[in-house]
């Protein structure tokens, strides 16, 4: 097994280095040292975490797989977590979340992302069409709680659909690197075989590991060696008859997520199910909503419809920055100068003026003024 230890050992040395950097940066004012360095070499950064795209692979018609070489600040990740990358398109930086698909022990320290090009998607379409070796992107440290416990469960069921393959593939590759001996089933949903990135590798893993079973389920193509149609109890029993004793990790489109959650709840197994969402599941709109939203920096006003402030700003013709649209990346943070807002994730309300709020998970309760 290769080791990820260097990232942990690097930290104390980094603290001492940070003091020296602060001194040098003070001397380099008015701009941060990184602003000078990036003019010479965009990868020579003292503070900003960035990455260079070193390889680009288009495994299927609508996906692109990028290999990233991060700068020295990168701390590594746990299989299942996500990173944010920032891509400049027409002079504007856009940030999006992506889950590394590689093993957390990858020997060369690089990160592999597989991105599905959404039909209307700004960043995913851009990367699918234009990503090439040499492209520099900004990068954040990994975050997210979708990860396996340090003491691995003996039986592991990994369920994915579409682009949701990435975090659970990282888990599979990590378990394989660890020499995990308990049963693992990888159950993946797609319209058809041609849509599945990593199909050959998955079959190769299954053929060479006595404890790993890979099952493909196609919703638009009969599958002689696997399953057809949508997730249900028959698929679960076929793929992992031992599912009741397993830890199950799930990531996929909303329909698959709902189907698995519903069945696991009926079976009383919801506490053994761990999930990751790629798309927001926040309810939009409220017929009883009242008040006016004032977007003060743009001099635009809109009648409050109870939806998220991000949706309402966009509907009013504004283009505030966003990343995840589900409250995890903070890209959409803006200052509420007055009024009451409700956090749609927690239900908490906030009436204090001049508060930073996340537009994507906040709704107006009556009149609200936002500084965008």
The residue ranges that bind ligand FES (CB under 6 A) are 322-325, 327-332, 358, 360
- Minimum CB distance to ligand FES, residue 119 (Å): 20
| Cβ closest to ligand FES, residue 46 vs residue 328 | 328
332: β partners: none
CA distances from 18 to 25, 58, 73 (A): 10, 39, 11
128 binds, among ligand FES, ligand FAD, none (CB under 5 to 8 A by kind): none
For strand 184-190 and strand 156-161, is the pairing parallel, antiparallel, or unpaired? parallel
Return phi, psi of residue 342, to 5°.
-120, 130
**Closest distance between ligand FAD and the C-beta of residue 232, in Å?**
23
Per CB under 6 A, the segment of 11-19, 32-40, 91-99, 364-372 that binds ligand FAD is: 91-99
Q: What is the DSSP string of 258-269?
A: HHHHHHHHHTT-
Instruction: Pick the closer one to ligand FES by CB: 153 or 323.
Output: 323
Provide the b/e sequence for 344-363 (b: ≥16 CB within 10 Å). Answer: beeeeeeeeeeeebbbbbbb
The answer to whether 122 contacts ligand FAD (rule: CB under 6 A) is yes
CB 169 within 8 A of CB 112: no
What is the chain's alpha carbon radius of gyration, rounded to the nearest angstrom?
A: 23
For the window 326-355, what string marks contact with ligand FAD as x by the rule CB under 6 A? x-----------------------------
Q: Return the residue of 124, 174, 248, 304 that touches ligand FAD, per CB under 6 A.
A: 124
**40 vs 129, which CB is nearer to ligand FAD?**
129
77 touches ligand FAD (CB under 6 A): no
115 binds ligand FAD (CB under 6 A): yes
How far apart CA 192 and CA 228 sit, in angstroms, is: 10
Please, which residue, 42 or 167, has the CB nearer to ligand FES? 167
| Range 258-317, binding ligand FAD (CB under 6 A) | 278-279
**Environment class of residue 22 by beta-carbon count within 10 Å: exposed (0-12), middle (13-18) or buried (19+)?**
exposed
Helical (H) or strand (E) element with 292:
strand 292-295
Question: Which of ligand FAD, ligand FES, none has residue 111 at its interface (CB below 5 to 8 Å by kind)?
Answer: none
- Taken in order 57, 76, 210, 157, the sign of the CA dihedral is negative
Q: Is 163 in the site for ligand FAD (CB under 6 A)?
A: yes
Which of 82, 105, 198, 295 touches ligand FAD (CB under 6 A)? 82
250 binds, among ligand FES, ligand FAD, none (CB under 5 to 8 A by kind): none
List C-alpha distances in Å: 175 to 75, 153, 179.
20, 10, 6
Is residue 67 involved in binding ligand FAD (CB under 6 A)?
no
Q: What's the closest the beta carbon of residue 310 comes to ligand FAD, in angstroms? A: 11
Residue 360 binding: pick among ligand FES, ligand FAD, none (C-beta 5-8 Å cut-off by kind): ligand FES
Stretch that binds ligand FAD, among 27-35, 118-126, 131-139, 219-227 (CB under 6 A): 118-126
b/e sequence 136-171, b meaning 16+ C-beta within 10 Å = bbbbbebebebbbeeebbebbbbbbbbbbbbbbbbb
106 binds ligand FAD (CB under 6 A): no
The two three-digit tokens of residue 267, written as one number: 């079976």
Q: Least CB distance from residue 82 to ligand FES, whole Å?
A: 11
Residue 104 gets the label, from left (phi > 0), alpha (psi -120 to 50) or beta, of alpha
Q: Which residues pair with 97 in a beta bridge?
A: 84
Residues that bind ligand FAD (CB under 6 A): 82, 96-99, 114-116, 118, 120-125, 144, 163, 166, 278-279, 324, 326
């Amino acid at each position: 097994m290769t080791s990820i230890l260097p990232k942990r050992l690097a930290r104390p040395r980094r603290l001492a280095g940070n003091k020296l950097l602060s001194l040098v940066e003070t001397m380099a004012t008015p701009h941060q040292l990184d602003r000078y360095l990036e003019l010479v070499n965009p990868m020579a950064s003292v503070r900003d975490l960035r990455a260079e795209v070193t390889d680009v692979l288009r495994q299927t018609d609508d996906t692109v797989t990028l290999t990233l070489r991060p700068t020295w600040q990168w701390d590594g990740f746990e299989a299942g977590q996500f990173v944010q990358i920032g891509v400049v398109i027409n002079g504007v930086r856009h940030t999006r979340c992506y889950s590394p698909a590689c093993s957390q022990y990858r020997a060369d320290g690089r990160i592999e992302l597989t991105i599905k090009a959404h039909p209307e998607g700004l960043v995913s379409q851009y990367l699918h069409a234009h990503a090439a070796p040499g492209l520099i992107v900004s990068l954040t440290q990994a975050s997210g709680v979708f990860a396996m416990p340090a003491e691995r469960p003996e039986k592991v069921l990994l369920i994915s659909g579409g682009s949701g393959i990435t975090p659970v593939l990282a888990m599979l590759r990590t378990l394989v690197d660890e020499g995990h001996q308990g049963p693992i089933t990888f159950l993946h949903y797609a319209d058809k075989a041609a849509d599945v990135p990593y199909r050959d590798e998955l079959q190769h893993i299954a053929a060479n590991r006595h404890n790993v079973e890979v099952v493909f389920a196609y919703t638009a193509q009969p599958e002689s060696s696997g399953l057809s149609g949508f997730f249900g109890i028959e698929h679960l029993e076929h793929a992992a008859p031992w599912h009741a004793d397993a830890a199950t990790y799930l990531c996929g489109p909303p329909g698959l997520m709902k189907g698995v959650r519903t069945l696991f709840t009926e079976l009383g197994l919801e506490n053994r199910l761990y999930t990751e969402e790629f798309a927001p599941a926040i309810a939009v709109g409220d017929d009883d909503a009242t008040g006016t939203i004032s977007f003060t920096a743009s001099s635009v006003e809109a009648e409050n419809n109870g939806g998220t402030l991000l949706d309402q700003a966009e509907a009013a013709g504004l283009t505030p920055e966003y990343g995840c649209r589900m409250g995890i990346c903070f890209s959409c943070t803006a200052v509420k100068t007055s009024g009451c807002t409700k956090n749609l994730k927690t239900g908490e309300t906030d009436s204090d003026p001049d508060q930073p709020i996340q537009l994507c998970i906040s709704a107006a309760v009556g009149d609200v003024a936002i500084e965008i």
